[in-house]
Amino acid sequence: MSYLNELNASQLEAVKSIHGPTMVIAGAGSGKTRVLTFRIAYMLEQGIDPFNVMALTFTNKAAREMTERIGKIVGGTEAKNITMGTFHSVFSRILRYNSDRIGYPTNFTIYDTQDSKSLLKDIVKELNLDDKIYKSGMVLSRISSAKNNLISADAYAQNADIMKEDEQSRRPELANVYKTYVTRCFRAGAMDFDDLLYQTNVLLRDFPDVLHYYQQKFKYILVDEYQDTNYAQYLIIKKLAAVYENICVVGDDAQSIYSFRGANIQNILNFRKDYPDFKLFKLEQNYRSTKNIVEAANSIISKNQDQIKKTVWTDNSDGSKINVVRTLTDNEEGKVITNKIFNFKQSGVETYNAFAILYRTNKQSRSFEEALRKINIPYKIYGGISFYQRKEIKDLLSYFRLTTNHRDEEALKRVINYPKRGIGKTSIENIIIAASTYGVSIWDVINNFQQYPVALNAGTKSKLYEFATMISSFAAQLDKLNAYELAQTIAKSSGILRELYNEKDKGPEEVERYQNIEELLAGIKEFTISQVEDADLSLSEFMIDVALLTDADQQSTEEKNHVTLMTIHSSKGLEFPHVFLVGLEENLFPSQMALNSRTDLEEERRLFYVAITRAKESCTLSYAASRFNWGSLVTSEPSRFIDEIDQNYLHIETPQRGVGKSLSGFSGGFERSLSGGLNKPLGSNSGSFKSIDKVGPGKNDQNVLGDLKVGYNVMHDRFGKGKVTKIEGEGADKKATIFFPNHGAKTVLLRFANLAIIED
């Protein structure tokens, strides 16, 4: 047990306490994955049967890595007998094994978000509803929320409060859409991701023998990231652990940031109520970050009321203070941060992988992308379109899906006329209508026009027959060929490879599409040669793996030398030597939508905490005084979160050029309380600055330039000293033309000009 020597005292206690309900609160960077791994290894060494252990992880990749590490510690292949993976991967296999109980085929398809949205768009159209009101994303979110709270389509329609909400939002037909969606998924032999949890609850609720079997099988249950579990996940775990109560949950309430996905922080906060005799262990030593970063993060999260108190600390060096940067605009923010990355690199940082730019919303990436491109710094955006969502990949995967499950409606619609085989849009719509009329699948219709007549000409019926025959021939080889052999056969025989090859001469995008198919086939080949002895190497098994990939499984930030750009939500679980947290402005971060309740604001603060604790060596916070929003330039106020950091851990960066106090009246609470001279003009040769209080007739922000006249000398932060040559407009639209010796005449909107009046 030499591996136990790698643990500190708190970690060792958590590892050795293997019986009864246990909660491990793991602060950021405290080594929780090591504790989880070593705990399972210790359990096996104490004689616990690995077949009786279920460990639920954040990603499938993490599960594989933990299994490998446990195997190295305990030796042999026993670690492979542990049931380990994400909630969705573990319970999808349980559902496949028991699919007959709930009326699904063993080879049911798992719809991704794109599939679900496509189906919902069709349903909205068929029900003659307004697709601008019944937007697929909104409808799917509503259905997802219902399923995560175990509300069936029938229960949804019978709930007066829910129906009233839908009426008030002008979506009274949502219940009908939900019911139709469930019916269509069932008919297609498909589940969406929420169904994997919803149907598991149904299985355990309606079949006591199944519940008993898994209660006896999983005598020891471990759950990682417990603060991110939703009600459906919570209930599954509670039921399975009810007999032996050997349940260990690991997490950090301070990093609960997924309420928009249904995560409920109360699950971890109320653990002690579910298990009054539980044991609590706190992992408080941070191995990741410098002292300044750790203490700054502590000062932030201490403002939250709903939390399990802990004191995170570190033996690491003090490191530099958190840098705070103010820029005039969002475009300037992009340039300033990019220059900092360039300077870091010049000073000796080895690779661009050391840098991450984190933001609250995806749309903020634009200014950073432009700035990085201009000075040729490589970057990659995470959270964009994933490899498996690219059109050509989805097309080929749809052939695979249809081969394993002929009832898969979304897959069939996608490839029935791709590559083009002369089956028109009207013909396809007629087939879909017939399937809906007779309550059968599209596949049933195209295979039996006598029983399900459709108004199609003989030529179209012949082409449909050829298509169905081709798919059936693929299916006949499912048990004869391994995944790679069958995938290659399908890629060639379907015509997809030929189609993409013929397009290769058209341009780089077409070449990339062909290369992506090659990459997919290479990945399938790797799947067939990397499995353990006697593993299932079929295409069906490969498709199960692909369907259950999480965003984090599909993203590797270490494969190439590039700066990482991502949302803070996407960054959870990652770490970088140097982090730039940008766009720290009120109504952006915290989000305007989070300002209506303490609960929402505290989640935003936890998100801020997560962002800062991604940093190992340095952390820079930036905000812009003005930002374009829907085409209009609006003034911004610094985020309250900057103000909440203990000043001892902050360094307020001084602007590099003269910045007079903005005559637009911009002044946030942070600048008033912390920055001192942050907005005061710099330099001794710029003339004396006229007191802002003596300019303008009143305190109204829009009128502080009331006395600005032609002939006045002013200082602009970017163009330097200039003379006013013309004034026009009134109120908020008031503009001045100013001549700058080094830049010529510029016309500026006064409320956003950031000017200072100077006296020679």
Mean pLDDT of 54-72: 87
pLDDT average, residue stretch 343-357: 89
First to last CA, the chain: 78
> Choosing from 22, 33, 109, 635, which is the catalytic residue?
33
Mean pLDDT to the nearest integer, 659-684 = 33
Q: What is the pLDDT of residues 656-668, one digit of tens each?
A: 543 333 333 333 3
Please, which residues have CB within 8 angstroms of residue 106's CB and are 6 or more apart in sequence?
A: 96, 99, 100
The helix, strand and coil proportions of the chain, stated in percent and rounded to the nearest 5, come to: 50, 15, 35
32 carries an active-site annotation: yes
CB atoms inside a 10 Å sphere around CB 552: 18
Whether 624 has a pLDDT exceeding 80, the answer reads yes
Q: What is the pLDDT of residue 695?
A: 33
Distance of CA 126 to CAs 171, 535, 727, Å? 16, 44, 59
CA 269 to chain centre: 24
Give the least confident one: 464-473, 550-559, 610-619, 648-657.
550-559
- The per-residue pLDDT for 492 is 94
Q: Is the pLDDT of residue 698 over 50?
A: no
What's the pLDDT tens digit per position in 268-303?
988 999 999 999 999 999 999 999 999 999 999 999
pLDDT at 329: 87
Provide the token pair at 613. 């604790």
pLDDT at 338: 94
SS3 316: coil
Q: Reply yes or no on whether 83 is catalytic.
A: no
Predicted pLDDT of residue 384:
61
Mark whether 315 is an active-site residue: no
Confidence of residue 720 (pLDDT cuts 50, 70, 90): confident
Mean of the per-residue pLDDT values of the chain: 86
Sign of CA dihedral 154, 158, 162, 163: positive
Looking at the predicted structure, is the pLDDT value of residue 46 above 90? yes
Task: State the pLDDT at residue 193.
Answer: 92
Least confident of 12-21, 169-178, 532-541, 596-605: 532-541
Tell me, yes or no, if 192 is annotated catalytic: no
Q: Residue 382: what pLDDT?
A: 83
Q: Which two tokens stand for residue 55?
A: 């460990």
The pair of structure tokens assigned to 257 is 């940031």
pLDDT at residue number 409 = 92
Q: Among 122, 166, 192, 224, which one carries the catalytic annotation?
A: 224
Rounded Cα distance between 343 and 348, Å, is 9
In this predicted model, which residue has the larger pLDDT, 177 or 515?
Answer: 177
Mean pLDDT of the 371-377 span: 89
The confidence score (pLDDT) of residue 192 equals: 95
Residue 65: per-residue pLDDT: 85
- pLDDT the model gives residue 24: 95
Say if residue 759's pLDDT is above 80.
no
- DSSP, collapsed to helix, strand or coil, labels residue 68 as helix
Task: Give yes or no: 225 in active site.
Answer: yes
Span 126-179, pLDDT tens digits: 999 999 999 999 999 999 999 999 999 999 999 999 999 999 999 999 999 999
Check 34, 171, 326, 614 and give the catalytic one.
614
Catalytic residue among 166, 192, 225, 252: 225
Question: What is the pLDDT, as a whole number, of residue 702?
Answer: 35
481 versus 511: the higher-pLDDT residue is: 481
Q: Is the pLDDT of residue 565 over 50?
A: yes
Lowest mean pLDDT among 260-274, 380-394, 605-619, 675-689: 675-689
Q: Kindly state the DSSP code that residue 268 receives in the 8-state scheme.
A: H
Mean pLDDT check: name the lowest of 334-343, 421-430, 738-747. 738-747
Out of 362-376, 432-446, 648-662, pick the least confident: 648-662
Residue-wise pLDDT for 304-337, tens only, equals: 998 889 999 999 999 999 999 999 888 899 999 9
Per-residue pLDDT averaged across 36-55, rounded? 94
Give counts: helices (H), strands (E), the chain.
31, 22
pLDDT number for residue 674:
36
pLDDT at 52 over 70: yes
Q: How far is CA 108 from the centre of its chain?
A: 26
Least Cα distance to 221 among 233, 235, 237 occurs for 237
With H, G, I as helix, E, B as strand and everything else as coil, classify residue 370.
helix
378: phi then psi, degrees, rounded to nearest 5: -70, 140
Burial 21-36, CB ≥16 within 10 A → b, else e: bbbbbbbbbbbbbbbb
Which is nearest to 225 in space by CA: 549, 552, 565, 548? 552
Q: What is the mean pLDDT of residues 211-216?
A: 97
Q: Where are the alpha helices (DSSP H) in 241-356?
A: 266-269, 271-274, 291-301, 330-346
The Cα–Cα gap between 682 and 680 comes to 6
* Integer Cα distance of 547 and 543 in angstroms: 6
Task: Indicate the range of 440-444, 502-506, 647-651 predicted with least confidence.
Answer: 502-506
Tell me, yes or no, if 253 is annotated catalytic: no
Q: Which of 32, 142, 326, 513 is catalytic?
A: 32
Rounded Cα distance, 12 and 16, in Å: 6
pLDDT of 634: 81
Tell me, what DSSP letter sits at residue 672?
A: I
The alpha carbon of 442 is separated from its chain's Cα centroid by a whole number of angstroms, namely: 34
Q: pLDDT, tens digit, for every residue of 387-420?
A: 788 899 999 999 999 999 999 999 999 999 999 9
Rounded percentage of the chain residues whose pLDDT exceeds 90:
59
